[in-house]
Structure 1
Amino acid sequence: MSLILYYHPLSSFCMKVLMALYENGTPFTPQIVNLMDETEAANLKSLWPIGKFPVLRDEARGKTIPETSIIVEYIDRHYPGATRFIPDDADRALQVRLQDRFYDLYVQLPMQEIVGDRLRPADKKDPLGVEQARSRLLGVYDMIERDMMERDMAGDAWAVGSDFSLADCAAAPALFYANKVVPFGDHKHTAAYLDRLMQRPSFARVLKEAKPYFRFFPKE
């Protein structure tokens, strides 16, 4: 198989790319990376000097593709399947890309700030930073709730209308982990959207493969 994905099953950003690959049954070779292993971390940096996963290597085209949104769009362009992650219509494509950035920047990142703080030594904790991240998430939940309420009323199941897209690949792991660190509470339309995502076969497979690693997810 020409595609090799360097990733870890527990990583929310890796889940985003895995979901896209599984969605269309795109053949690839999985390469789990343990960043705590110096050799594996060095090998990853040889592909992408930033040293973060996921990274996709396309041996057939001689290309190395980092960054989740770019990876999914690359797959969509060069290895398309029944589900198209970026619409052909330019205006809808902009909406999809906006929602993708929204979930990455405003759900994933504050969630990761909270999780990262749990991994710090007791004398290095940042309670103010955690409280600010929680506040940002709650404000974002309000935005998602309003949007999903409108979509539910219109009969649209996904982030940008009736078609599953890149935006939903971004939303699934972001909301899954965010709900663990800052529960949705009364945001019932947001919870219903996450439930739809978890029932999607591609994301259900991602979660099943991640399950053995969930014990490493830091609790409070």
Structure 2
Amino acid sequence: MPSLTLHAHPLSSYCWKVLIALYEAGTPFAAPLLDLADPRARAEFYALWPMGKMPVLVDATAGRTVPETSIIVEYLDRYAPSGRRMIPGDAEAALEVRAWDRFCDLYLQASMQKFVGDRLRAPESRDPTGVAEARQVLRTAYGVLEAHMQGREWAAGAEFSLADCSAAPALYYSDRVEPLRGRLPALTAYLQRLEARPSFARVLDEARPWAHLFPRADAG
């Protein structure tokens, strides 16, 4: 029985980020389905992490509960080491990886989730101004990444890293609310490389039974 348990849902973009890192490293872990619509499961999860944000990693051997995706991946690199690190040991290289990880979370993920959250609201409670602002942030971030990915295979350095674990779900879902494919050639090619990566392809395959639940927002 693995000592690591990831409390996650297979449709969650932030859960995907950690799952990609786990699959890249081949780290054994358990992943019970976290259904926050179930009152009992929800209460148990909030008792584990009162902020209620998934995923959360529990290391039974160390007796530690680890929230927040970037911290979980760094924890795995440090305490569940394998031959496949997501953050390089070199300090300068690690700084670049962390910078692009934060870029993807703050400007892609957060903006995309504004679309999704708004779509889940009742029509009278929607926030068209907030969605328009999020769309502009996404478009600006796309432009930054389009320029950055010129001549690059991966987001930070020559190797697949935490930055790519973050970019994969962020770009995949952002493309569904503010399409980028065909408009931005370097970014389109990068997203296609990410989707072909075995770790991310596995995540996408596991999420397929829930994919119809994603509340796609119309682009404008």
TM-score, normalised relative to structure 2: 0.96
Residue 211 of structure 2 corresponds to residue 219 of structure 1: no
> In structure 2, which of residues 194, 197, 209 is the aligned counterpart of residue 197 of structure 1?
194
Deviations 1:171-206 (A, max 9, x none): 000000000000015211001111111111000000
Is 1:209 the equivalent of 2:206? yes
| Preserved contact between residue 176 and residue 216 of structure 2 (Cα < 8 Å) | no
CA distance in 2, matches of 1:182, 1:80: 37
Amino acid at match of 2:108: V
One-letter identity of the residue aligned with 1:138: R
Task: Indicate whether 1:160 and 2:156 are aligned.
Answer: yes
Per-residue deviation at 1:85? 0.8
Secondary structure in 1 matching 2:121: coil
Q: 2:139 corresponds to which residue?
A: 138
The gaps in structure 2 that reach 5 residues or longer are none
CA distance in 1, matches of 2:81, 2:185: 34
Aligned to 2:130: 129
Matches within 5 A, 1:50-199: 50-149=51-150, 152=151, 156-184=152-180, 185-199=182-196
Match of 1:41 in 2: 42
- Match of 2:47, SS state, is helix
Where does the alignment leave 5 or more consecutive residues of structure 1 unmatched? none
Query: Aligned partners of 1:79 and 1:219: how far apart in 2?
Result: 36
Distance (Å, rounded) in 2 between the aligned partners of 1:90 and 1:219: 39
> Which whole-Å CA distance do the structure 2 matches of 1:77 and 1:219 have between them?
37
CA contact (8 A) 1:83 1:165 kept: no
Return the alpha-carbon distance in structure 2 between the equivalents of residues 157 and 104 of structure 1: 20
After the TM superposition, which parts of structure 1 deviate over 2 Å for at least 4 consecutive aligned residues?
none
1:51 Cα shift?
Answer: 1.1
Q: Does the residue aligned with 1:57 lie in a helix, a strand or coil?
A: strand
SS of equivalent residue, structure 2 residue 110: helix
1:3 and 2:4 matched:
yes
Q: CA deviation at 1:219?
A: 2.7
Take 2:216 and 2:184, find their aligned partners in 1: how far apart are those partners? 23
Cα distance in structure 1, aligned partners of 2:123 and 2:52: 27
Q: 2: distance between equivalents of 1:146 and 1:83?
A: 28
Q: How far did residue 84 of structure 1 move?
A: 1.0
The Cα offsets for residues 91-120 of structure 1, whole Å up to 9 and x where unpaired, read as 111111111100000000000001111111
Could you report, residue by residue, the CA deviation over 1:133-190 in whole angstroms, capped at 9, with x for unpaired residues? 11110011000000001xx2xxx31111211111100000000000000001521100
User: CA RMSD for the aligned pairs?
Assistant: 0.9
TM-score by length of 1: 0.96
Q: For residues 164 and 81 of structure 1, what CA distance do their matches in structure 2 show?
A: 15
